Structure 1
């Protein structure tokens, strides 16, 4: 059950009070990180003498040994004297509790109010001996201010969880820094700033190294700064009461290495795109030379063989063309198939012959190392169909049907032509095209290949069945879309 369902089933809280807790839930992971401790929220249960734990969050900013989750547990109130006292008085509490056998940690409790009524208690369980943070009470006071500020709707992304490497600055209502953690001091030390506490947040001493600021329109509270040799993400949270600033939190994330890697990836991607573009151009040049040779040949058989070679070369160039345009190491089989249909129809079919094509099933997205071989396979099968399936006809259909299971793609390239001869034996054929197909499918793609007549019998077309194992890390359309974004 979610928090609202827990509250409705096990407590007497009103709809308004549950809504207030739901609003606050957005900031709970942030509060656990800010306080460097495990967060729990207790509310009184319907059953007398019981408390319900309606939220529990572990911090990302410090290591705490793993314990079983207590979310949704009905806890005897007598076992939580600090929580019970804060519920009764509304006053903060501090004490000790056992974390593991023989190990005690600090526990801080604060009341959650709806108006003047205490509707719950938030607790922070903190290993103070391990923390040793100078000015830790300021962090706790800030966490309480964030909780109170969250009684109204807040922007969830503004309160996204922290990491142990994030710098944290906290100022008073006059923008004077009252707390700076070790990560923030380390960042500013690189920029030549010594002591931070007591400085004004916008003091020239702190901002003089900033060379560029980029503000995101969707996140006006977040900026990307270039200061010295550092690239920083600066997130600012203003806590207000009655329209007046109470406290300001500034979170600094050092993304210097991330941005450098992003730049390196962009440069490599551009180089790879350029290589694919040049390979495509070279392949098209080879195809043009073969066409010239075919025109000069006096033998129809030679011209036919050269034209087939042109198609093979161009089918590979199609893959490189997609890679040069898209800038991603993945290929959509449907797009490659359409290009091959167009190539064959333009280069191999008579002008009066009408070729119809169709594609059914999911769009297969394969890494480029598989795509070139598959493009050659599909090209050979389409060429074979054009050459043998439609003799004496003015039109024909060639299609590709795709289905998948957990481990394999199943491709069925079919036509509505005359079918295979009754004495046809795929293993004994001397066809170069089918030899290429079998070698690529079974050797390079590690799949299986079968060529059969339609189940209705000879004269109803041919099916080329290809079964390919999925790559270990399959590239799906969703992944490609997320990379583009």
Structure 2
């Protein structure tokens, strides 16, 4: 059986798995029913790989009304500037209601966007419902999604008084309007300065825009009515939005909105250089920690009193825990991202210690409870050391030689707090004894996490709990409902 258009587009333009694409196909199979039921235009958009844009992979138009769309838009690129709700739902995983979005054919629509998620709660696409915004909308008190004051605005704009400037005159973006023959009929003050600078002429009114700005020709020649271009011209970095305005099939004019982002691009390059420097620092910190660990192992091989061995091993585990944070940072595909996935960090730190404990058969269980938790490198170092100390305590004291047991590390969250539970089914303890490890845990929880550390009474084993507030440095994604402990 030949592949559907949706499958072909997803395979070419996205990184989605076959299972994800099947989910999208299942949703697409119901689009026509939804379109007819709601009398709305239905679409599925997917983020493109290696791009900030999205692509339309499926559509359905209502059969009971005149279509807003003249042609199919499957395979068309979607830009955030025109449809911000699509990208909001992708980033947050939440529903979006946009009172006015611009279609691929330059028409205004009311848009509702719902994220489509896979079995592990990742957003793999968005389901979009669009309804046309008619030119004449009655003003209803309390209705938040309709514009009003069109007559008053027209009166102001058509007034001969110079006391009230046009809104576009107050903006930093360049606004240019050409007629059906591509003659310049309007430019705001920033636009006049821009054209005069680029064309070296002051005579611009009613001139052909392509004669004034030759680089515009490729934009006007581009067949799409609504598109966003990123150009570099004479060392200027420009983002150009083009919107052709039509009355049925008749072209009335073309609106260009141009942003000069030269300064922004320069700052982005500076930030990129800084991020490269920061990455190099992370590399050096990790390498230095590994060097220190190598020196300690060398010292251990040279021989030392048996009673000192445990202290060397504890120190090596602490160094490894800190080093794990930097390894995870360096594994991020985004060079600017120094956030650390706490779940992955816990697996890395805990599993290494369990595997090294060859005389005890201990199973390690990590429970994320549906959460994906990210935190800054600073907090991650503290959490890594806390997990190291508590798991290490369980391995040392909870199980006898050649015994079997379990250590479980779980994460629970509610609106304000995150809880880290470390439980073992070992011999337990009557009362926690003071030690350097527990002192480290208490200090890190109190001073770095602003949290609380305590042991809970259990019938068998030990149960340690760390509770700390969720802040701007701790972000939780794909959260399921948890039962507070």
Q: Same fold (TM over 0.5)?
A: yes
Q: Does the 8 A contact of 1:165 with 1:183 survive in 2?
A: yes
Match of 1:198 among 193, 196, 206: 206
Residues 264-295 of structure 1, C-alpha deviations (whole Å, 9 max, x = no match): 22222222112111101110111111111112
Partner of 1:156: none
Q: CA separation in 2, counterparts of 1:240 and 1:271?
A: 50
TM-score norm. by structure 1 comes to: 0.63
Q: Does the 8 A contact of 2:455 with 2:465 survive in 1?
A: yes
Distance 1:222 1:19, change over 3 A: closer
Q: Does the 8 A contact of 2:196 with 2:202 survive in 1?
A: yes
1:353 offset after TM fit, Å?
A: 3.0
Distance 1:42 1:71, change over 3 A: farther
Match of 1:107 among 155, 161, 165: 155
Distance 1:230 1:126, change over 3 A: farther
TM-score norm. by structure 2 comes to: 0.63
Partner of 2:185: 178
Distance 1:127 1:451, change over 3 A: farther
Output the aligned Cα RMSD.
4.4
1:222 offset after TM fit, Å?
A: 1.9
Partner of 2:363: 355
Matched ranges for 1:270-285 at <5 A: 270-285=276-291
Partner of 1:404: 413
Unmatched 5+ stretches in structure 1:
6-14, 32-38, 44-51, 55-67, 84-93, 98-104, 109-123, 140-161, 480-485
1:321 offset after TM fit, Å?
A: 1.3
Q: CA separation in 2, counterparts of 1:218 and 1:356?
A: 56
Partner of 2:331: 325
Q: Does the 8 A contact of 2:362 with 2:407 survive in 1?
A: no
Q: Does the 8 A contact of 1:412 with 1:464 survive in 2?
A: yes
Match of 2:194 among 183, 187, 201: 187
Partner of 1:440: 444
Q: CA separation in 2, counterparts of 1:128 and 1:41?
A: 27
Distance 1:208 1:219, change over 3 A: closer
Partner of 1:414: 423
Q: CA separation in 2, counterparts of 1:206 and 1:279?
A: 51
Q: Does the 8 A contact of 1:367 with 1:475 survive in 2?
A: no
Partner of 2:434: 430
Q: Does the 8 A contact of 2:446 with 2:452 survive in 1?
A: yes
1:125 offset after TM fit, Å?
A: 9.7
Distance 1:447 1:71, change over 3 A: closer
Q: Does the 8 A contact of 1:419 with 1:453 survive in 2?
A: no
Which is greater in Rg?
1
Q: Does the 8 A contact of 1:414 with 1:463 survive in 2?
A: yes
Distance 1:267 1:218, change over 3 A: farther
Range with greater deviation from structure 2 (171-180 or 316-325)? 171-180
Asked whether 1:245 is paired with 2:251, we answer: yes
Q: CA separation in 2, counterparts of 1:127 and 1:295?
A: 91
1:244 offset after TM fit, Å?
A: 5.0
Q: CA separation in 1, counterparts of 2:145 and 2:289?
A: 65
Q: CA separation in 1, counterparts of 2:339 and 2:160?
A: 48
Partner of 1:263: 269
Distance 1:308 1:473, change over 3 A: closer
Partner of 1:117: none
Q: Does the 8 A contact of 2:225 with 2:242 survive in 1?
A: no
Distance 1:344 1:219, change over 3 A: farther
Q: CA separation in 2, counterparts of 1:198 and 1:332?
A: 58
Partner of 1:87: none
Asked whether 1:230 is paired with 2:236, we answer: yes
Match of 1:394 among 400, 403, 427: 403
1:131 offset after TM fit, Å?
A: 3.8
Q: CA separation in 2, counterparts of 1:399 and 1:72?
A: 50
SS in 1 for 2:375: strand
Number of residues of Structure 1 aligned to a counterpart in Structure 2: 360
Q: CA separation in 2, counterparts of 1:286 and 1:217?
A: 62
Q: CA separation in 2, counterparts of 1:316 and 1:189?
A: 58
Distance 1:343 1:125, change over 3 A: farther
Q: CA separation in 2, counterparts of 1:388 and 1:188?
A: 77
Q: CA separation in 1, counterparts of 2:234 and 2:276?
A: 27
Match of 2:374 among 354, 365, 378: 365
1:339 offset after TM fit, Å?
A: 0.5
SS in 1 for 2:307: helix
Q: Does the 8 A contact of 1:209 with 1:227 survive in 2?
A: no
Match of 2:390 among 360, 365, 381: 381
